[in-house]
């Protein structure tokens, strides 16, 4: 499907990737049988550092990255197949997921050589976990309205402000922080936003839990009180955060988790209705399966675009909205 610069062409899976799929399935079956993890409603959103290290040892984190940074220089399609199998099986991959999916590609794209050598091998080994500091008390998805401030000082920056709804900040090693380094301009509301790598053990950082209705602790409020960040921890260009996040979100929005979030629920539903559902149930299930299959094909097409070096920002946003 192609319209102007918008493209979601169909893509056939190369035969050798079925061998990769079989390898991942065998690994997951062995992990389940040995008690390595259990499948439940939380699925892939579970945070399990030990499991992430096992996945890293298999070479399944940072797969597409250069070997000098701990990667395997695998194709984007191979990574897609591995990701699809892990998520569909409900494997607890949350600990390394954001670092693998977004933060690593961000550093490869705009990071310094020192940043790449410091973080990428640890991420690929399943030993470095990342959270994102974007949402604020009065700023949700509107990045232009953030108030967390980064003021230039000798050798670096001083950070003051608050982030909320930060997933797993209490278990991450570093934060990909968005902060304002210049006043907002009415001509360009997104100007003056910069990304920083923040060591979450830095003095002046307070991480406070936000509990959900089930008394579970996934989200956090993160407070920055005069936190010093060295110049070497600026990601990309000062003031270039908005353009950088646009490319980064293409990775976040296009992966198989966009449609597989509902897969576990579908499996449980099919178990409940049995092999011979009534006509009404069969129709509803058919519609759901058709929707998920369409999303899968679209998501897979985007993986092909990434394989060809394209940045599918619009296409990925569509998959996110439909998913």
Q: Length of the chain, please?
A: 323
User: Where does residue 19 fall: left (phi above 0), alpha (psi -120 to 50 degrees), or beta otherwise?
Assistant: alpha
79 token code pair = 């990574």
Structure tokens at 310: 């394209």
CB–CB of 158/127 below 8 Å? Answer: no
* Residue reference for tokens 């794209």: 109
Give me the residue label for tokens 């693998």.
100
The answer to whether residue 252 is catalytic is yes
In the DSSP assignment, the letter for residue 320 is: H
- The sign one gets for the Cα dihedral 13, 16, 18, 23 is negative
CA separation, residue 213 to residues 9, 135, 218, 222 (Å)? 42, 20, 11, 20
Strand residue runs (E) in 117-166: 130-133, 149-153, 156-163
Rounded Cα gap, residues 312 and 173, in angstroms: 29
Give every CB contact of residue 241 below 8 A, 6+ residues apart in sequence: 143, 178, 193, 194, 195, 235
Tokens of 20: 């990769």
List 23, 127, 221, 252, catalytic entry? 252
Strand partners, 133: 177
Q: Which residues are catalytic?
A: 252
């Amino acid at each position: 499907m192609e319209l102007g610069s918008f493209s979601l062409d169909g893509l056939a899976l190369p035969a050798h990737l079925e061998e990769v799929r079989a390898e991942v399935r065998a690994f997951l079956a062995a992990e389940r049988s040995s008690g390595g993890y259990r499948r439940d409603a939380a699925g892939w959103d579970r945070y399990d550092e030990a499991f992430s290290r096992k996945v890293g040892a298999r070479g399944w984190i940072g797969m597409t990255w250069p070997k000098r940074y701990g990667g395997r220089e695998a194709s984007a399609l191979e990574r897609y197949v591995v990701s699809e199998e892990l998520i569909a099986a409900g494997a607890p991959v949350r600990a390394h997921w954001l670092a693998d999916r977004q933060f690593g590609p961000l550093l490869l794209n705009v990071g310094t050589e020192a940043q790449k050598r410091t973080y990428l091998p640890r991420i690929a080994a399943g030993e470095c976990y990342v959270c994102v500091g974007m949402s604020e008390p009065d700023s949700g998805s509107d990045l232009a309205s953030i108030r967390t401030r980064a003021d230039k000082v000798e050798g670096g920056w001083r950070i003051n402000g608050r982030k909320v709804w930060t997933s797993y900040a209490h278990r991450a090693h570093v934060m990909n922080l968005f902060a304002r380094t210049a006043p907002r301009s009415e001509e360009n509301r997104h100007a003056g936003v910069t990304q920083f790598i923040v060591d979450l053990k830095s003095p002046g950082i307070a991480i406070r839990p936000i509990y959900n209705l089930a008394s579970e602790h996934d989200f956090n409020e993160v407070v920055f009180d005069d936190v010093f960040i060295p110049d070497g921890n600026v990601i990309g260009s000062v003031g270039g955060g908005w353009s950088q996040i646009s490319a980064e979100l293409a990775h976040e929005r296009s992966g198989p988790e966009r449609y597989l979030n509902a897969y576990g629920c579908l499996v449980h539903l099919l178990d409940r209705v049995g092999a011979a559902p009534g006509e009404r149930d069969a129709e509803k299930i058919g519609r759901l399966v058709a929707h998920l299959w369409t999303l899968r094909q679209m998501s897979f097409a985007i993986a092909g675009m990434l394989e060809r070096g394209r940045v599918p920002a619009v296409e990925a946003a569509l998959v996110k909205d439909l998913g």
